[in-house]
Chain A
Amino acid sequence: MPQLTATPASALADEPVHIRVTGLPPFQVVTLKASLKDDKGDLFQSKAFYRANEAGEVDLEQAPALGGDYVGVHPMGLFWSLKPEKAFWRLLKHDVLNTPFWVTLDVYDSICSQYSAIIQPSASQVVQRWFSGPGVQRKQIREGRVRGALFLPPGEGPFLGVIDLFGAIGGLVEFRASLLAARGFAVLALAYFDYEDLPEELLEVDLEYFEEAANLLLAHPKIQRPGIGVISMCKGAEIALAMACYLKQAVAIVCINGFTAVMGVPLRYKDLVVTPIRPEMERVQVHASGALSYCHCYGDPRDKLNGQSVLPVEKAQSRLLFIVGEDDEFIRSKLYAEQAMDRLRSHGRSHGRVLVYPSAGHLIDPPYAPLCFASRVRGLPRPFLWGGDPAAHAAAQEHAWGEIQKFFRQHLIQNRSKL
């Protein structure tokens, strides 16, 4: 009788699951399938074909998938290769506190090439994937101009404080902040446009808003002073880098696949106005699938004509960690990160570090998040191309997550000592 075990059955979404099947006919080719429904009820599925060994077992930590959504030894492949039934749909957890993703794992003792409701699996187990841990608290933030959600770990603290900034998607994305809180950080998921009473469109970046948010976080009794970290992505990474250059509160900045120059809209901080690079939308490229690749629209930070828009990273007092997906189709992240690193070096500064992940795309999320190769953004009909090769992207997410936490722990705790 086939049996499927997945351990742990309930865990944080960034923890691996060990999947094993026993009781199969020796050397039988079987189908392993995963499925989940997101908060809106949209279905995501994945499958892989494995051959049982002589004892009739399949252990995903050792056995290679022969075909399906991935090939080779990938213990978490069923998770990161989940695909939406609805084309160009991204998997995002909105309710991060109260419910997990329930992932149903099925094994069929034959090759099932079609998804069918008729055939019953030989064995099944549901695992829970949580985006926050026991005791994590969420507090809606509406103080002064600041809008977002603060996630606090259980206990008295003091905790390392982090601001979490997403990009062009707008609104408030909470799942990364809540996961980091489950890992012991106090995290402010900060919205900056298209949320509550914030402007619907981002027409300028007002750094004073972000300074207000940083001060709010630092004023919290459970948060360690005197400096906070920022984890940021895409447009958010440009803002985080600007915080590093012009503000004092942020002392450890993680920039994932972002701009290192002011892009599209001006940056303002008190009297200072930094004019942006104007995106050349005529350089958009349409992928065979119809999705749009924007990465050639955003100019070259090394172009002298863009000089006044490039962020003066040599002025930053904080530690910088650039995370780059080499196959990013939305931003030429590697180009930007390398330009920033060169600028640091040419000024004799050594507080920057870059991690380049070959074949990873734009949306470098916490581990085991399915690769989203292209998706629709903010109701626009043509999907945006993000890029990435599934297995390499999954490996990048796994590695980067560990590095990000190490980086914060190392530099936020030590931030009392001068660089």
Chain B
Amino acid sequence: MVQLTATPVIALVDEPVHIRATGLTPFQIVTLHASLKDEKGNMFYSRAYYRANEVGEVDLERDSSLGGDYTGVHPMGLIWSLKPEKLLTRLLKTDVMNSPFQVQVKLHELDFLLNNKPISAPKASLTLERWYVAPGVTRIRVREGRLRGALFLPPGEGRFPGVIDLFGGIGGLLEFRAGLLASRGFVSLALAYCDYDDLPPQPEITDLEYFEEAANFLLRHPKVHGPGIGVVSTCKGAEIGLSMGIHLKQITATVLINGTPFVFEVPQVYRGQIYPPVPPSIQLVAINTLGLTEFYRMFEETQIIASQSFLPIEKAHGHFLFIVGEADKNVNSKRHAELATDRLRRNGKSNWTLLSYPGAGHLIEPPYSPLCPASGLRALSSSVHWGGEVIPHAAAQEHSWKEIQKFLRKHLISTVTSQL
């Protein structure tokens, strides 16, 4: 009898699942097919072909996929290689508290799936639940002063290190990473700064005092252990995160994912100090083979270096973790991180770590998130290429997530123990 098992069936999205099939004919080639429906009803699919061994078993932790959405030994491949039915749709969970993503995994006979749906009925199937919050995590909507966002608290008594979570140009409020960080023991503030609630849709300046307010708000919270807090930030959020690390003493650990060490789009202002944006060279924007827009060439180094826009990173007291996707097509992440670390070195600083991932793109998210190679932002008519190759991008997400947590614990919790 054909059986399909997965352990654990219910888990956090950053936890791996062990998938096995038994009761097959020896050396039979089978299709493993995964599907997911997001909150808007968009379908995502993936498939892989495996050959059963001499006792009719397939073990994704041991066996190599022959083809499909990935090849090689990748126990979580079915999840991170999920692809949208509607081109360029990004998989994003908006309600992180009340429901998981459900992934249906089905085992079929060899089925060439030129369409998305298999021809025959599955021999076995199961449904995985993938949650963004652990049991006991609480979410509090934040509307304090100017602040808009959502605060996630880990379960249990006591105090925890605090983290501010900042995303990029997409605007709005993305909560999924903050929910996960809370599940991993951090009080996490998912902070919106544009196009959310009563925040302006396109602010004309980035007012660092807003982020200072957020840092103070977090430190005041009874469940947060100071005296320092961290920032996890992506893209435009990382430009802001870097500035927070420079100007706000409370920030002792800053994670910068595919960001810039210079101001772009709108000026940054902090207590009268103005950092102007680097003017974009739009004529350097490229269109790739599939017609997707690539912005990563848009800021010329001659405009960055020796300009007021280049943030004085050497003035920061805390630590930095740079996460770089080398195949980022939206931001020239590798080169920008080099500019930042060169500047730190020149100033005799060593308060940073750089993790550079070949083949990883712009959207480096928690583990097992499917690679979104491109999508349409609201303000652009053509789609934006984020970059990345499926398999190395998945590996980068898995590795960087562990490193991010290690980094935050090292620089936030040790400051706690040094107080004792």
**Which residues on A are within 8 Å of B, measured CB to CB?**
29, 47, 49, 51, 66-69, 71, 81, 83-84, 87, 111, 113-115, 280-286, 288-290, 292, 296-297, 371, 373-374, 380-382, 388-390
User: Which chain B residue shows the least CB distance to A111?
Assistant: B282
Give complex CA distance A371, B84 in Å. Answer: 25
**Which residues on B are within 8 Å of A, measured CB to CB?**
29, 31, 46-47, 49, 66-69, 71, 81, 83-84, 87, 110, 112, 114-116, 281-287, 289-291, 297, 371, 373, 380-382, 388-390
Give complex CA distance A68, B87 in Å. Answer: 22
Residues from chain B with Cβ under 8 Å of A373 in the complex: 289-290
Chain A nearest Cβ from B402, distance in angstroms: 24
User: A282-B110, A371-B289, A373-B289 known; A113 and B83 CB under 8 Å?
Assistant: no
**8 A-B pairs with least C-beta separation:** A282-B49, A49-B283, A283-B67, A83-B291, A67-B284, A288-B373, A66-B283, A373-B289
Chain B nearest Cβ from A31, distance in angstroms: 8
User: Which chain B residue shows the least CB distance to A296?
Assistant: B67
A83 & B87 in contact (Cβ 8 Å cutoff): no
A286 & B81 in contact (Cβ 8 Å cutoff): yes
Give complex CA distance A114, B376 in Å. Answer: 14
Give complex CA distance A382, B382 in Å. Answer: 21
Give complex CA distance A67, B287 in Å. Answer: 8
A284 & B287 in contact (Cβ 8 Å cutoff): no
Residues from chain A with Cβ under 8 Å of B87 in the complex: 87, 289-290
User: A83-B291, A289-B373, A373-B289 known; A29 and B283 CB under 8 Å?
Assistant: yes
Give complex CA distance A51, B281 in Å. Answer: 12
A67 & B291 in contact (Cβ 8 Å cutoff): no
Residues from chain B with Cβ under 8 Å of A84 in the complex: 291
Residues from chain A with Cβ under 8 Å of B31 in the complex: 282
Of the candidates A67, A81, A115, A283, which one forms a contact with B66 in the assembled complex, judged by CB atoms under 8 Å apart?
Answer: A283
Residues from chain B with Cβ under 8 Å of A282 in the complex: 29, 31, 49, 66-68, 110
A-B CB contact pairs (8 Å), 12 listed: A47-B287, A66-B281, A68-B285, A68-B287, A69-B287, A71-B286, A286-B47, A288-B389, A290-B87, A373-B289, A381-B115, A381-B116
Of the candidates A49, A81, A285, which one forms a contact with B71 in the assembled complex, judged by CB atoms under 8 Å apart?
Answer: A285
Give complex CA distance A286, B289 in Å. Answer: 17
User: A49-B283, A83-B287, A282-B49 known; A382 and B115 CB under 8 Å?
Assistant: yes
B286 & A68 in contact (Cβ 8 Å cutoff): yes
Give complex CA distance A29, B71 in Å. Answer: 46
Q: Which of A51, A115, A288 is the most central at the interface, judged by chain B CB atoms within 10 Å of its CB?
A: A288
Give complex CA distance A296, B382 in Å. Answer: 32
Give complex CA distance A207, B382 in Å. Answer: 48
Give complex CA distance A296, B390 in Å. Answer: 18
Residues from chain B with Cβ under 8 Å of A296 in the complex: 67
A390 & B289 in contact (Cβ 8 Å cutoff): yes
Of the candidates B29, B49, B286, B290, which one forms a contact with A67 in the assembled complex, judged by CB atoms under 8 Å apart?
Answer: B286
Chain A nearest Cβ from B9, distance in angstroms: 26
Give complex CA distance A44, B373 in Å. Answer: 22
User: Which chain B residue shows the least CB distance to A373?
Assistant: B289
Residues from chain A with Cβ under 8 Å of B29 in the complex: 282
Of the candidates A67, A381, A390, which one forms a contact with B283 in the assembled complex, judged by CB atoms under 8 Å apart?
Answer: A67
Give complex CA distance A230, B87 in Å. Answer: 39
B68 & A51 in contact (Cβ 8 Å cutoff): no
Residues from chain B with Cβ under 8 Å of A47 in the complex: 287
Residues from chain B with Cβ under 8 Å of A381 in the complex: 114-116
Give complex CA distance A410, B333 in Å. Answer: 53
Residues from chain A with Cβ under 8 Å of B382 in the complex: 114-115
Chain B nearest Cβ from A14, distance in angstroms: 22
Residues from chain A with Cβ under 8 Å of B66 in the complex: 280, 282-283
Give complex CA distance A71, B285 in Å. Answer: 10
Of the candidates B116, B281, B390, which one forms a contact with A288 in the assembled complex, judged by CB atoms under 8 Å apart?
Answer: B390
